[in-house]
Amino acid sequence: MRALVDELPEKGPFILEGEEARHLLKVKRIRPSEKVELLDGQGGRCQCDIERLGKRQIELSIHSVSREKEPARLGLALAIPCQHTTLSALLPSLVQLGVTDMVLCETERSGQIKRVEKQIHRLHTILRQALKQCGRSWAPRLNLQRLDHLLEEKASLPYGDWLLYHPRGMSWYELSEKLRYPVMNLIGPEGGFSVLETTKMEKKGIHKVGLGSAILKMETAAIGTCFRISQQMLEVGIRGIVNSC
């Protein structure tokens, strides 16, 4: 069983309270014989034994505290969906796949940043909660940005190749052996990036890559591309991001 904490505690007694304790007690129906792992979303882990189960709190004994290195980068720049429920469903899958940096971009055909700003706390909560399911120790970084501004900053960001997924892009197999890691993946809105946006990205040296003959929904394309890159990273020996949840 896993629970989230804001700050990693030290070895010794610890009382888990609030929503995390309620979830373990009422939803997971945790038993005294089970173990608890605490995560802080910044690489920290605590292994705990249960001393006592209360009605609203759990008394724990922490016997191991560790902190993992930040994993290899895997970036995703995703056009802001017009349907607000899309992100709630998509973000947990991206955490499971090991995405470390997410940029929600405002494009010509996407939703607007000002609408997502109202949801940003909830989105961060979704990302952290997904750690409990898959066991990763680092929550992804999440930023909001206009596509034009992201492209202006491209040269200063810590990525090798940037990939634009496009129906008329080159075959993945033409590019996969030449990829420079880390990789930033760009997924457009429903209807795709505009011709002007695509031209700007090509002028910035961003590769157009195809995903087959079918036109994929945004969330399908995001999951498919991140899975493909993570598996490629495993094949070339880049560790820390692609281990199974």
Enumerate the domain spans of the chain: 2-67, 75-235
pLDDT of the residue at 40: 94
Structure tokens at 16: 């888990």
Structure tokens at 140: 């992804």
- What pTM was computed for the model? 0.86
Which three-class secondary structure state does DSSP give residue 150? helix
Would you say 241 and 70 are in contact if contact means Cβ atoms under 8 Å apart? no
Amino acid at 163: L
Q: Tell me the C-alpha distance between 107 and 54, whole Å.
A: 50
pLDDT of the residue at 171: 80
Which three-class secondary structure state does DSSP give residue 187? strand
Helices 218-235 & 85-96, crossing angle to 10 degrees? 10
Who contacts 238 (Cβ-Cβ below 8 Å, separation ≥6)? 72, 181
Classify domain 2-67 at the CATH superfamily level: Hypothetical PUA domain-like; domain 1 (2.40.240.20)
pLDDT of the residue at 36: 94
pLDDT of the residue at 244: 38
pLDDT of the residue at 245: 41
Q: Tell me the C-alpha distance between 47 and 37, whole Å.
A: 5
Q: Give the pLDDT means over successive 10-residue stretches in the chain (245 positions).
A: 92 93 92 93 94 93 93 94 88 94 95 91 93 91 96 93 86 79 93 93 91 82 90 73 42
List beta partners, residue 150. none
Helices 120-134 & 85-96, crossing angle to 10 degrees? 40
Would you say 4 and 39 are in contact if contact means Cβ atoms under 8 Å apart? yes
CATH number attached to the domain at 75-235: 3.40.1280.10
Who contacts 227 (Cβ-Cβ below 8 Å, separation ≥6)? 97
